[in-house]
């Protein structure tokens, strides 16, 4: 198991890609520039949050397609795509297409469950089948089968002079199935992901078991261990289990006084929700980590969840300005990452 003495192997970041509704193009361009900067700084991966009917990234596949043509090395992922909004067959086609355009750099992260505020949108999303749709694990299992190239139908072959049909999703991108991730916040989901051959994304939100004490780091550690045990016992696993942790970190090494004040205010506003479980499901939030890179590294090394991983995708805070993200990413890559034992990727390295 990785521990605090083991160097961090892969360093990534996660962004929500905010934009002004009156000028959405500028926000999307900012997101693409942030991804380009990430590659220049040596990050191994850039991940996109998925937001529907909000002022964030609603189509990460389109953003990844654009980013794939402006970068050459950095892995591109979603963390996560709520598959309740998606048709698995169409999603499989889009993912494979972009993966081929990116040279095998796409890492789709997925989650299941009813779409957020479903009652307000189901009449448009599924007007004729809203009460029949499946929002459980079977939906993501179907996507995995389609991405893997399993047959969709018996019909295939040539029809007429030029029309030729396949019995699987086309194009097929070999290796994409092994790069499917599942965003799990509960032990049940972590075990399911491991048993079904997915990689694990664990973030700053978790759901404890009924008998667990509300210690975020310890619960996250137990979920990661349960995932690894399930992976080891699974016939669907193609190799060693991969786990990526996604906490919010805000290094202030090169921040201006104005930025430090702004960042601290953001953290202070969010801290109260981390002190006790929230809602009927007892949701737990991890505290945001703010301070110098040395201070953050010390806290991470003491974090039971971090001790279980050698990959991270640190989450960028919401609602900050472009220059703030430049400062935070630069400090993560040049100061915090090395403090965790990470070495920046060189050109041609860091894919997948």
Structural domain harbouring 138: 10-339
Is 352 inside any structural domain? Answer: no
**Does the pLDDT at position 195 exceed 90?**
yes
Give me the pLDDT at residue 347, please.
Answer: 67
Q: What is the reported pLDDT for 235? A: 86
User: How does the average pLDDT of the chain come out, rounded?
Assistant: 95
- Split at pLDDT 50, 70, 90, the class of 3 is very low
Question: Is residue 5 situated within a structural domain?
Answer: no
- The whole-number average pLDDT for the span 150-165 is 94
Please tell me the predicted confidence (pLDDT) of residue 241. 80
For residue 116, the domain's CATH number is: 3.20.20.30
Kindly state whether residue 1 falls inside one of the protein's structural domains: no
Each residue's pLDDT tens digit, 196-223: 999 999 999 999 988 878 899 999 999 9
- Low-confidence winner among 46-55, 157-166, 191-200, 322-331 (lowest mean pLDDT): 157-166
Mark out the alpha helices in 48-175 (DSSP H runs).
Answer: 60-68, 88-101, 118-125, 137-148
The mean pLDDT of 286-296, rounded to a whole number, is 98
293 in a domain, yes or no? Answer: yes
Burial of 34 (C-beta count, 10 Å sphere; 0-12/13-18/19+): buried
The answer to whether residues 297 and 285 touch, using CB atoms and an 8 Å cutoff, is: no
Residue 1 pLDDT grade (very low, low, confident, very high; cuts 50, 70, 90): very low
> For the chain, what is the domain count?
1
| pLDDT tens profile 79-107 | 999 999 999 999 999 999 999 999 999 99
CB-based contact 64:23 (threshold 8 Å): no
* pLDDT (mean) for 177-205: 97
Q: In the chain, what's the furthest Cα-to-Cα distance?
A: 70
Q: Tell me, what's the pLDDT at 5?
A: 60
pLDDT at 308: 97
Tens of pLDDT, residue by residue over 248-273, are: 999 999 999 999 999 999 999 999 99
Length in residues, the chain: 352
Predicted pLDDT of residue 211? 82
Neighbours of 343 (CB within 10 A): 13
Of 260, 310, 317, 259, the C-alpha closest to 288 is 317
Q: What is the pTM of this model?
A: 0.96
Query: Is 348 a member of any domain?
Result: no
Domain membership flag for residue 319: yes
Q: What was the pLDDT predicted at 102? A: 98
Within a domain: 296: yes
Report yes or no on 4 lying in a domain: no
Of 9, 5, 50, the residue nearest 243 (C-alpha): 9
pLDDT for the residue numbered 124: 98
């Amino acid at each position: 198991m990785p521990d605090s003495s083991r160097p961090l192997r892969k360093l990534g970041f996660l962004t929500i890609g905010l934009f002004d509704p009156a000028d959405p193009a500028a926000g999307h361009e900012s997101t693409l520039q942030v991804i380009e900067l990430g590659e220049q700084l040596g990050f191994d991966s850039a991940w996109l949050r998925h937001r529907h009917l909000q002022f964030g990234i609603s189509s990460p596949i389109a953003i990844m397609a654009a980013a794939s043509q402006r970068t050459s090395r950095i892995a591109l992922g979603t963390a996560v795509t709520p598959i309740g909004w998606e048709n698995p067959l169409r999603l499989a086609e889009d993912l494979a297409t972009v993966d081929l355009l990116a040279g095998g750099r796409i890492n789709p992260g997925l989650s299941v469950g009813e779409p957020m505020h479903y009652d307000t949108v189901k009449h448009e999303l599924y007007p004729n089948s809203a009460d029949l749709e499946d929002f459980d694990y079977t939906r993501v299992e179907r996507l995995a089968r389609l991405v893997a190239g399993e047959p969709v139908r018996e019909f295939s072959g040539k029809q007429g002079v030029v029309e030729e049909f396949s019995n699987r999703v086309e194009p097929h991108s070999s290796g994409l199935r092994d790069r499917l991730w599942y965003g799990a916040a509960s032990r049940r989901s972590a075990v399911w992901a491991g048993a079904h051959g997915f990689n694990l994304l664990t973030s700053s939100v978790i759901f404890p078991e009924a008998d667990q004490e509300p210690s975020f780091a310890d619960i996250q550690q137990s979920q990661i261990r349960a995932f690894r045990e399930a992976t080891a016992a699974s016939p669907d696993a193609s190799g060693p289990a991969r786990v990526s942790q996604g906490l919010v970190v805000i290094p202030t090494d090169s921040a201006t006084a104005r930025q430090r004040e702004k960042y601290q205010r953001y953290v202070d506003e969010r801290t109260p929700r981390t002190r006790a479980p929230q809602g009927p499901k007892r949701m737990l939030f991890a505290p945001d980590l703010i301070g110098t890179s040395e201070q953050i590294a010390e806290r991470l090394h003491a974090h039971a969840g971090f001790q279980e991983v050698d990959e991270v995708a640190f989450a960028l805070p919401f609602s900050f300005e472009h220059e703030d993200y430049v400062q935070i990413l630069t400090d993560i890559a040049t100061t915090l990452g090395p403090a965790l034992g990470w070495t920046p990727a060189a050109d041609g390295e860091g894919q997948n």
